[in-house]
Amino acid sequence: MAEITAALVKTLREKTSLGMMECKGALKEADGDLEKAETILRKKGILKADKKSDRATKEGIVASYIHMAGRVGVLIEVNCETDFVAKNESFQGLVKDLTLHIAAANPSYLAREEVPADLVAKEREIAAEQMKGKPANVVDKIVDGKMSKFYADFCLLEQGFIKNPDVTVTDLIKTKIAELGENIVVRRFTRYAVGGE
């Protein structure tokens, strides 16, 4: 069993923003392997976040971000459960990161449920047409894969976070839910660009 040093715990805490005991426990479980411990914490955090997903979010903030000397602007509403968390620096940091992400990644929709049915049907049809001649069971799997890629390109919650593309925006939010102990929901956003970019 590897020795779990205070420095190792501190490094993991800085990477995950989670408590000392959680980090120490994860490091013990991962036998001192920092990457494995981070993965363990992320999985546990996502499980905790999922349990909070049905809780009401009536507090929060509306934030704005102006980029490129006024050429791109973002407005966003992010909700949480209490005013206490709405004023929390970590929550506000998340909201700021989300505005930066929206300015850079230009998502068209918040979630896949918001994509119009006719657009989904059209994208599925195009993807199926590209696979013409292949067996039906293969075509369905490929079309599903192409649709997942489509959602990852156009839906905020499924995009890879611009500061760390290996993490989706949903996973980023779930990490904050686990850290702050409250449900967090992106209610809506708007991105403006000069000339309608």
What pLDDT does residue 45 have?
A: 66
Tabulate helix, strand, coil % of the chain (nearest 5): 60, 20, 25
Same domain, 10 and 79: no
pLDDT band of 191, cuts 50, 70, 90: very high
What CATH number is given to the structural domain containing 162?
3.30.479.20
Contacts (Cβ under 8 Å, ≥6 apart) of 54: 183
Distance of CA 36 to the CA centre of its chain: 21
Give SS3 for 33: coil
Q: How far is CA 31 from the centre of its chain?
A: 28
Query: Is pTM beyond 0.85 here?
Result: no
Collapse the DSSP code of 2 into the 3-class scheme (helix H, G, I; strand E, B; otherwise coil) and give the result: coil
User: CB-hemisphere CA count at 13 Å for 194?
Assistant: 7
Q: Does residue 24 sit in the same domain as residue 121?
A: no
Q: Are 145 and 160 in a shared domain?
A: no
User: Beta strand pairing status for 59-67 and 164-168?
Assistant: unpaired
Q: How many domains does the chain have?
A: 3
- Mean pLDDT in residue range 151-174: 93
pLDDT at 179: 87
Over residues 23-75, the pLDDT tens digits come to: 888 888 888 888 888 888 777 765 565 565 566 678 999 999 998 788 999 99
